[in-house]
Structure 1
Amino acid sequence: MAATSAPDAPTGGRHPVDATLPPLRMFTSGLQHVAAMYAGVVAPPMIVGPACGLNATETAFLMGAALFTAGIATLLQTLGFWRVGAKLPFVNGVSFAGVTPMVAIAKSQAPGHALPVVFGAVMVAGALGFLAAPYFSRLIRFFPPVVTGTVITLIGVSLLPVAYGWAQGGGEQSSQGGSLTNLGMALFTFVVVLVLRKVLRGFLQQISILLGLVVGTLVAIPVGITDFSPLAHADLVGFPTPFHFGAPELDAAAVISMCIVMLVCMTESTADMLALGRVVDRPANERTIEGGLRADTLGSLVSPLFNGFANSAFAQNIGLVAMTKVRSRFVVATAGAILLVMGLCPAAASVISLVPLPVLGGAGVVLFGSVAASGVQTLASAAMDKGENALIVAAALGVGLIPIAAPGFYDGLPKDLLVVLDSGISTGCVVAVVLNLLFNHLGRRRGEEGLEKAAEALSGTEDHPAPAHPSASTGQEGSPGRPAEPADGASPPAQATRAR
């Protein structure tokens, strides 16, 4: 069976998600997660800091605070307490969804007040999101495989441009086209990762991404694109002083803007939890979603205390879990602890920052492509030949890809709408959910349901029920080629959990 052949197959009745690994494997696997997410965590403060008038030193402080608060949020997700935390290998960090509105808030405020207003808005949005989490989680029944598969595919495809930008060198270089050196290093790292995945076995294969980053960074030194200056100027110890930039301030427009961002983050996190649940063979049910959203929003509520921003799921790490098949949440908890140390020790954070962006981009293509492949795999179980499921996927992908295919498509609309529309994941998710509701719930007549059941009976599906346990290797809830799902794609993950 595929489940028992996985590197972290359950032993003694314990699910791999709840299993612990030897200390060395725990640390190196956790470090690999940190390497995959590091650039995504520090990028928002690198944009928001200068927009708020911060100098280089203050922006570096903001980056350390982002790492520290990402560690707190990740520990809340993986370890949890009470009914907080998805208790899945779920990585949290600063959400990109908040960058545009935070920059807009900064431009509308007097000097010295931008960050306090941002922090006040994030805290209010986090508190309201925490209270709304139990109600938001009930929407899980509207996320069958036809929806989740579409959203997972969009997550992977939406992340690929980030990897391409890294491969070109990031910043202004990515808009001017990558140099031969940068693209060459990205291609070299890409090939190294693939070769390592092919030739290595066991634990070394699981950390092939980390090994590829190390090899790429070492080769980049003589090439001349490795920057050692952050390490030379980094302090050994640096605690993110609470309210370093001033006490939070409340502004109605800023609060409304960040509440919209929080809804976007909750939508994306819900989709990510459903995707991760399938990857680790523990389908996310309503309680899992509720706990995960509470961890997201509580992390966002606490984050401004230490000068951080709103936190949400990091989809790129789902691809890492899918590729390595290391499903232990304690590995990701170790990554959270590493992030905490990096936030307290700028010198440690600088070691990770030595990885050049082109090297990170080469590995990112493999990581993010794995997420998209996982979405396609989920769609394979979504009964695309039934009802209007193919139309749902076509429409949702078409709308969700607009920000990627035509980046300036929505520029003429009010800026407040761009918070939602510029996220292809969010718009694609909304379209998929609404169309699934219209075509597979409200649009179905009793007569159609009766004819469907009769057709299934004649085809023998009732004589051959689908297995209760989803396949660990494919993430499908039924056997390929056998119509074991209703017209909306499959039974919700909550039902699959109960069947287990």
Structure 2
Amino acid sequence: MMEAIGDITATCDVSRLDVEGPVFDTRIQGGVLADGLNGLIAGLCTITPMSVFAQNNGVISLTRCANRKAGYCCCFFLVLMGIFSKFAAALVAIPSAVLGGMTTFLFASVTVSGMRIISTVKFTRRNRFILSAALALGVGATLVPEWFSFVFTYRGNNKAKKGLIDAVELVMATGFVIAGFIALILNLALKEEEDEVDGKIIELPSSTSRSRRWKEVEAEGGKDVEEGPVAKND
């Protein structure tokens, strides 16, 4: 679910669509629902669960083609290659170096899209704390994926219980899942900053700007409306 939300958001961004608002929320709901149904159907067909692919966002950003008909054509060719193995063999024959270079660039493009989405958020103290906590724990889980394996110490013969523990450990070892949960919980728990009114940050005048204002008023020999008359030294 976390991966689907992130990928759909990145898809809307590279497709030059809004990434907030009621229309965007309906896209998220439909995308997550479709992803869940695909995983359910894949399980019934005794294959690995299907999920959304972030590489497609890199393709959209490079080609600037976000038309649904292009996606339908891709689905047609994928089904065709699944039925006729000769077509799939042509893709398998592509050298690994070519595929590796292409996918590396695509993933880098997805990362840049995510950074662009984050840059649209106002970096208040609250948002900086949420982002820092999510990134710290997410990157930590990625660097040390076995950190959760020491929480459960079950060594029995119950295969169902052992399978459940393995599934939980697999989820907790995924960095973006940890980061998503932490960001979601902190966003709901922490209140908005008090210096924000209607989404705008109130900026107080600095001491430098106030002193500059005083010098201008003294030079004019008048008085400041907010501060009252200016006392001059003879």
Fold match (TM-score > 0.5)? yes
**Counterpart amino acid of 2:10?**
A
Please state whether the residue corresponding to 1:410 is helix, strand or coil. Answer: helix
> What pairs with 1:276-425 in structure 2 (closer than 5 Å)?
276-283=11-18, 285-384=24-123, 386-414=124-152, 415-425=166-176
Distance 1:410 1:457, change over 3 A: closer
Q: Is the 8 A contact 1:402 1:409 kept in 2?
A: no
Paired with 1:458 and 1:294, the residues of 2 have a C-alpha distance of 40
**Counterpart amino acid of 1:280?**
S
Paired with 1:404 and 1:267, the residues of 2 have a C-alpha distance of 15
Distance 1:306 1:417, change over 3 A: closer
C-alpha deviation, 1:436, in angstroms: 1.7
Partner residue, 2:196: 452
Q: Is the 8 A contact 2:15 2:66 kept in 1?
A: yes
Paired with 1:286 and 1:401, the residues of 2 have a C-alpha distance of 27
Q: Is the 8 A contact 1:299 1:310 kept in 2?
A: yes
Distance 1:362 1:276, change over 3 A: same
Number of residue equivalences: 186
Paired with 2:25 and 2:198, the residues of 1 have a C-alpha distance of 31
Please state whether the residue corresponding to 1:330 is helix, strand or coil. Answer: helix
Which residues of structure 2 form unaligned runs of 5+? 153-165, 204-234
Q: Is the 8 A contact 2:42 2:49 kept in 1?
A: yes
Please state whether the residue corresponding to 1:313 is helix, strand or coil. Answer: coil
Partner residue, 2:159: none
Paired with 1:372 and 1:326, the residues of 2 have a C-alpha distance of 19
Kindly indicate whether residue 184 of structure 2 is the aligned counterpart of residue 433 of structure 1. Answer: yes
* Percent identical residues: 27
**Counterpart amino acid of 2:150?**
G
Q: Is the 8 A contact 1:277 1:283 kept in 2?
A: yes
Structure number with bigger Rg: 2
Paired with 1:406 and 1:437, the residues of 2 have a C-alpha distance of 27
With the length of structure 2 as denominator, give the TM-score of the two structures: 0.70
Kindly indicate whether residue 6 of structure 2 is the aligned counterpart of residue 267 of structure 1. Answer: no
Distance 1:299 1:458, change over 3 A: closer
Note the alpha carbon deviations across 1:353-403, whole angstroms, 9 max, x for none. Answer: 11232321122221111111111111211111x132112111111111124
Partner residue, 2:224: none
With the length of structure 1 as denominator, give the TM-score of the two structures: 0.35
Q: Is the 8 A contact 2:141 2:178 kept in 1?
A: no
**Counterpart amino acid of 1:342?**
M
Q: Is the 8 A contact 2:146 2:173 kept in 1?
A: no
Runs of 4+ in 1 over 4 A off after TM superposition: 454-459
**Counterpart amino acid of 2:5?**
T
Q: Is the 8 A contact 2:145 2:174 kept in 1?
A: no
Distance 1:322 1:457, change over 3 A: closer
> What pairs with 1:203-218 in structure 2 (closer than 5 Å)?
none
